[in-house]
Amino acid sequence: MRGDGRRDWSDHYWWSLDGVRLHARVYAGPADAADAPPILCLPGLARNARDFEQLAPHLAQYRRVVAVEFRGRGESAYAKDPMTYVPLTYVQDVIALLDDLKVDRFATVGTSLGGLVSMLLAATQPGRLVGAVLNDVGPELELAGLERIRDYIGSGGSQPTWIHAARAVSELNGAVYPGYEIHDWLRLTKRTHRLTAEGRIVTDYDKQIAAPLRVPNGGDAGIDLWPAYRALDGIPLLVLRGELSDILARGAAEKMAAELPRARLAEVPGVGHAPTMDEAEAVAAIDGWLAELSAT
């Protein structure tokens, strides 16, 4: 661990079972919650710990927070074998982190891929997960949205300035965040991109994360995720959905809420896949989840 007086988090590095050096940001949380289960923030497919740069300090008012960077993203090393860029490997990596931090019980806030990892953790680590937020993801996913993501993941080049990069991001995601202005796109771009040594702006992930998505019959079709979702039964569960989402249909989200007695559904207006969880409606819903989590 190493801290920096200019920031409110510390770096933590650990090793995967197959020798990949991985990274997370750790927010210490209040002293009186030191023994409480921490909250793991798990990002989406092409995202990293910066996705939670606003939410994590908010959560850290109540619990220790660990913002994970999956292999191939942010400061986590790239995998030698691109076929390890799959949810079950990410689950193994998170379990290695929990062991490294000596954490037995924990909660999760997972966006998209991070929510899938949360469900798989619940299914494979019974009794360890004490609460979960699933951000715009569930056991039923819309094929049109998945195809949209497959079309752009791993593609694209570099941009000369942050403004150029932000405009490129806005062209790709305008339908996801129709109310965004240029300063919003800049904020999103700086979360998802990095500056190279050559002074170019590029996406902050290994483009090979797309490799498993392009294997014939190797995607999501035919996989029943409902058993993994039902493993969340009995714990505080918040299902967040973007009003315009093309990944999590409203009907599927309502079915999720009806399936488990402690599940609660909240919709974030005016955004698609996925809410950033900076939105006031998302924060309010998460605060309600936190209150229920603290009572468990």
For 78-122, the pLDDT digits (tens) are 999 999 999 999 999 999 999 999 999 999 999 999 999 999 999
**Cα gap 93→167, rounded to integer Å:** 34
* pLDDT at residue 156 in the model: 79
**Best CA proximity match to 118, nearest among 132, 105, 130:** 132
Residue 71 pLDDT > 70: yes
Whether the CB-CB separation of 132 and 107 falls below 8 Å is answered with: yes
For 135, list phi and psi in degrees, rounded to 5: -95, 100
**Cα gap 116→248, rounded to integer Å:** 12
Residue 60 pLDDT > 60: yes
3-state secondary structure of 235: coil
- Please identify which residue in the block is written with the tokens 């300035």: 161
Provide the mean pLDDT of the chain.
Answer: 94
Question: pLDDT band at 208, cuts 50/70/90?
Answer: very high
DSSP 18: T
The amino acid at residue 194 is R
Residue 199 pLDDT > 80: yes
**Cα gap 274→44, rounded to integer Å:** 9
Residue 11 pLDDT > 60: yes
* pLDDT at residue 53 in the model: 97
For 56, list phi and psi in degrees, rounded to 5: -60, -45
Residue-wise pLDDT for 15-44, tens only, equals 999 999 999 999 999 999 999 999 999 999
**Cα gap 52→72, rounded to integer Å:** 18
Question: pLDDT band at 155, cuts 50/70/90?
Answer: confident
**Cα gap 4→273, rounded to integer Å:** 33
Token readout for 252 is: 């599927």
Question: pLDDT band at 296, cuts 50/70/90?
Answer: low
**Cα gap 245→213, rounded to integer Å:** 20
* pLDDT at residue 7 in the model: 80
Residue 123 pLDDT > 50: yes
* pLDDT at residue 149 in the model: 93
* pLDDT at residue 171 in the model: 95
* pLDDT at residue 245 in the model: 98
**Best CA proximity match to 192, nearest among 289, 288, 50, 21:** 50
User: For 228-244, what is the mean pLDDT?
Assistant: 98
Question: pLDDT band at 214, cuts 50/70/90?
Answer: confident
Q: Peptide bond preceding 274: is omega within 30 degrees of 0, i.e. cis?
A: yes
> Could you give the angle at the alpha carbon of 255 between the alpha carbons of 176 and 266, nearest 5°?
50
* pLDDT at residue 5 in the model: 46
Residue 1 pLDDT > 70: no
Q: Are strands 129-135 and 65-69 parallel, antiparallel or unpaired?
A: unpaired
pTM score: 0.95
Whether the CB-CB separation of 209 and 154 falls below 8 Å is answered with: yes
Q: Helix 162-173 to helix 182-192 angle, to the nearest 10 degrees?
A: 100
* pLDDT at residue 3 in the model: 43
* pLDDT at residue 6 in the model: 56
- Which residues pair with residue 266 across a beta bridge? 240
